[in-house]
C-alpha cells in the first residue's frame, strides 16, 4: 500500500492501515496522520503539471480542485471518490484590502474558499473524508460543528447516500449554516452547551454507535485541506508566498497547511516554506495564550502535555466558555492543537488574537472591496493589519489570507454591524418617504 496512518507522537509512532477507522491512536491516544510511501506514488516532477489537468476538466477528478492534486493525497481508489465540484476557488489580488492592512500594492492576495459548494473551505476536507468513508463501507456519519462543518457534512452525506447526524451548540451557530444542515437533510442535534461540549459528545457517540466521524480529528479530511495551499501556489504562477494567514479554531486548516508545505519541500516541489500566521479571536484564544504566554512548543514532538492539561483544568474550574462574534472559531479546546504546534514549527509561524471589533471592521472592508466573507474569515485580514503594525510582516512581502467562509453564512453579524453603526465602515440603509423628490434629494445629498 502507498498510504498508511501513523501516530504523530514520535515516542509512539504506531502505524495502521488506511482501512482502519480509528481517528486517534489506539496505543497512546494521540492524533493520527495519513502518511505515504512516496516512492510508490508517481508524483509529477513539477507542480505546474497539476495545472495541465484543467484542460480536461470535463472529467470530475480533474474539475475538482482537490482531486486535481490526487497524487498528493493518494489513499483511496478512484471508485470510492466523492466529488461535487469542490475547490473551484480563486486567489484574488486585492490592493484596497491590502492598503487597509498596511501593504504595498500587489502584495496581498485573498484565497476565496467561500466559493465552495457549501460556501466554506470545509468541502476540501469532506470530499477526501467521505471518499475514505465510502472506502471503508461506512453507512452513517456524524460531526460536531460551529456550523460550516455541519453544512458541508450534510451536503456530502446526502450526495453519496450516507446518513448524517450533526451536533451544534444551542444558539451558537450562524443562521446561514443552520439553514444548510436542515435543508440538506441532516439530523441536527442542538446540545445545551458550546462547541467543545459537542466535540466531546460526538466522539463518544461515534465510538458507541460506530458512526464515521467527520471532524478534523479525521486525518483524511486534513489531506483534502492541503489542496488549499496548492491552489494558492497555483494562483501565484506556482510560486510560494512569503506568508499564509489563516483563522484558527479547531486548528485543522493550519495543521493541514503545515503538512502540505512540509511534504512539498520533502518532495523537492518547492524550494522554501512560507511563514504562517494563525489568528484567533480574543474571546477564544487558547492557542495564542498557550504559545505566546505559556511557551508551548512542538519540541520535536515532545510536547509538554502538562501545560495543556493544566490550562484545560483551569478553563473547567472557571467554567469558561469562549465568546466571539466570529462563531466559527468560538472554540477553547482545539482538537488539532498538537498538529498545529508542528505546523508552526515547520512554517516558523506566529500566533495572534484580534478583537471582535477589528474582525468586523476588516470584514466590512473585505465586503466593500472584495467578494465578502464571514466574520471568522476576516480575522485573517485583521491579523495581517496587526502583524503589519508590529512590523512582523513587511509591506512588500507577498501575503495570502485564507477567506474561509462565504459572506452569506452569517447575515446577522453583518446586518448588525451596518444597521447599528458598530464600526467605522458601517453602511446603514437610509429610510426615505415613498416620494420621488425625496428619493432624488437623498441620492444627491450622498454626493
Ligand atoms: N473559518 C471558518 C469559516 C470556519 O468555519 C472554521 C471552523 C474556521 C475558520 C477554523 O478552522 O478549525 O481548521 O482552525 N469551523 C469548524 C466548524 C470548527 O465546525 O465548522 P479550523
DSSP-assigned letter for residue 290:
I
Which atom belonging to ligand 1 lies closest to the Cα atom of 225? 13
Predicted local confidence at residue 1, as pLDDT: 74
Distance, in Å, from the CA atom of 402 to the CA atom of 242, rounded to the nearest integer, reads 14
Ligand 1 lined by 328 (C-beta under 6 Å): yes
pLDDT at 56: 95
pLDDT at res. 446: 83
Q: What is the largest CA-CA distance in the chain?
A: 77
**pLDDT under 50 in the chain at which residues?**
none
CA distance linking residue 387 with residue 394, whole number of Å: 9
Tell me the pLDDT tens digit for each residue of 346-368.
999 999 999 999 999 999 999 99
How far is residue 271's CA from residue 280's CA, in Å, rounded to a whole number?
29
**149: Cβ below 6 Å to ligand 1?**
yes
Cell numbers linked to 423:
464600526
Encode pLDDT of 122-164 as tens digits.
Answer: 999 999 999 999 999 999 999 999 999 999 999 999 999 999 9
For β-strands 212-213 and 187-191, DSSP reports them as unpaired
Report CA(132)–ligand 1 centroid distance (Å). Answer: 21
Q: What is the pLDDT of residue 125?
A: 98
Q: Which of 249, 252, 281, 408 to mutate to test the pocket of ligand 1 (most atoms within 8 A of CB)?
A: 249
Chain-centre distance for alpha carbon 347: 17
pLDDT at 337: 98
Ligand 1 centroid to residue 172 C-alpha, Å: 13
What atom of ligand 1 comes closest to residue 278's alpha carbon? 14
- Alpha-carbon torsion (131, 116, 326, 341), positive or negative: positive
What does the pLDDT read at residue 442?
95
Whole-number pLDDT of residue 447: 74
Interatomic CA distance for residues 25 and 7, integer angstroms: 6
Its pTM stands at 0.98
Our mutation pick for probing the ligand 1 site, out of 148, 155, 174, 379, counting the most ligand atoms within 8 A of Cβ, is 148
Nearest to 298 by CA among 268, 334, 333, 341: 341
Amino acid at each position: 500500500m502507498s498510504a498508511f496512518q501513523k501516530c504523530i507522537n514520535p515516542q509512539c509512532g504506531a502505524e495502521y492501515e488506511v482501512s482502519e477507522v480509528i481517528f486517534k491512536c489506539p496505543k497512546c491516544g494521540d492524533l493520527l496522520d495519513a502518511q505515504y510511501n512516496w516512492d510508490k506514488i508517481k508524483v509529477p516532477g513539477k507542480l505546474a503539471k497539476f495545472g495541465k489537468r484543467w484542460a480536461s476538466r470535463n472529467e470530475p477528478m480533474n474539475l475538482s480542485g482537490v482531486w486535481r492534486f490526487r497524487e498528493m493525497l493518494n489513499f483511496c481508489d478512484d471508485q470510492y471518490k466523492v466529488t461535487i465540484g469542490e475547490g473551484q476557488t480563486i486567489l484574488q489580488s486585492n490592493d484596497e484590502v491590502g492598503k487597509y492592512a498596511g501593504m504595498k500594492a500587489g502584495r496581498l492576495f485573498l484565497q476565496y474558499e467561500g466559493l465552495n459548494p457549501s460556501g466554506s473551505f470545509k468541502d476540501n476536507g469532506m470530499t477526501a473524508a467521505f471518499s475514505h468513508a465510502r472506502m471503508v463501507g461506512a453507512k452513517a456519519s456524524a460531526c460536531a460543528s460551529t456550523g460550516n462543518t455541519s453544512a458541508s457534512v450534510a451536503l456530502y452525506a446526502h450526495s453519496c447516500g450516507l446518513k448524517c447526524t450533526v451536533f451544534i451548540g444551542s444558539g451558537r451557530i450562524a443562521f446561514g449554516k443552520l439553514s444548510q444542515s436542515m435543508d440538506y437533510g441532516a439530523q441536527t442535534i442542538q446540545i445545551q452547551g458550546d462547541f467543545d461540549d459537542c466535540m466531546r459528545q460526538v466522539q463518544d457517540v461515534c465510538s458507541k454507535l460506530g458512526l464515521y466521524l467527520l471532524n478534523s480529528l479525521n486525518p483524511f479530511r486534513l489531506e483534502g485541506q492541503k489542496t488549499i495551499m496548492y491552489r494558492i501556489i497555483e494562483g501565484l504562477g506556482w510560486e510560494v508566498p512569503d506568508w499564509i494567514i489563516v483563522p484558527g479554531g479547531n486548528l485543522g486548516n493550519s495543521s493541514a497547511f503545515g503538512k502540505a508545505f512540509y511534504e512539498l519541500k520533502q518532495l523537492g516541489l518547492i524550494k522554501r516554506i512560507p511563514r504562517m500566521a494563525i489568528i484567533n479571536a480574543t474571546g477564544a484564544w487558547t492557542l495564542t495564550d498557550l504559545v505566546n504566554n505559556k511557551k508551548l512548543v512542538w519540541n520535536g514532538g515532545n510536547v509538554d502535555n502538562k501545560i495543556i492539561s493544566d490550562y484545560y483544568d483551569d478553563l473547567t474550574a472557571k467554567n469558561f466558555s469562549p465568546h466571539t462574534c466570529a462563531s466559527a472559531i468560538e472554540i477553547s479546546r482545539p482538537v488539532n492543537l498538537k498538529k498545529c504546534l508542528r505546523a508552526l514549527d515547520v512554517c516558523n509561524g506566529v500566533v495572534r488574537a484580534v478583537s471582535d471589533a477589528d474582525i468586523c471592521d476588516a470584514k466590512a472592508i473585505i465586503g466593500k472591496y472584495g467578494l465578502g466573507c464571514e466574520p471568522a474569515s476576516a480575522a485573517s485580514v485583521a491579523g495581517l493589519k496587526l502583524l503589519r503594525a508590529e512590523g512582523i510582516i513587511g509591506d512588500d512581502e507577498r501575503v495570502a489570507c485564507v477567506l474561509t467562509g462565504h459572506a452569506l453564512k452569517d447575515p446577522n453579524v453583518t446586518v448588525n454591524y451596518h444597521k447599528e453603526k458598530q464600526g467605522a465602515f458601517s453602511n446603514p440603509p437610509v429610510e426615505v418617504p415613498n416620494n420621488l423628490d425625496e428619493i432624488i434629494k437623498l441620492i444627491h445629498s450622498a454626493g
